[in-house]
Amino acid sequence: MNKVTMIDLNNARQAKQHLTDAIGALQKLTVQAVGRSENHEKITSFKTWLSELASTADTIITQGQNQYNERPKELIQAANTRLHKIPDEILLRQKKSQFATEAYEAQVFDLKHKGFNSGQIAKIVDDPGSEIERNKTEIIELETEHKQILAFLADVPVFNIELLKNTSLYPKTEIEVA
């Protein structure tokens, strides 16, 4: 059987509730109320069909609950922990870029006031551009990882591990580890 998604689970729960209500209402109808036994037999047949639908909904609900009970708890905990660390890592890289820019500008300013020209300054002070670009790239990667972890955590009751691909949490295979 396929994995039950949260949409499947919610639909099954809603269907089960409405079907139970409908079956309960139909059970109150008597032969006298519908006028003929043929009509009552049709209602009974319809109730049986509705009961089968309710049973299918029960199966989906049970499977969803089983999936949830068998969820990868340690991976979910690790995902929650990682999710809360990523904003700090992004902020750190932003601050590193800001610091590198400010340090560069301060050095250039100081050297200009000491009489150095642009060519001389370029030879003395390293341009922080490559560090800033590296930080920007890492920030983009961290933001992507953040989105992927959120998608994984929202994928209840499935918790599809493939949603963590290309993140630090994705389980390594034997070949990748070696």
Q: Which two tokens stand for residue 67?
A: 């999936």
Phi-psi group of 159: left, alpha or beta (phi > 0 → left; psi -120 to 50 → alpha; rest → beta)? left
Q: How does pLDDT run across 50-92, given as a tens digit for each residue?
A: 999 999 999 999 999 999 999 999 999 999 999 999 999 999 9
Name the pTM for this structure.
0.77
Lowest mean pLDDT among 14-18, 35-39, 76-80: 35-39
Q: Are 152 and 160 in contact (CB under 8 A)?
A: yes
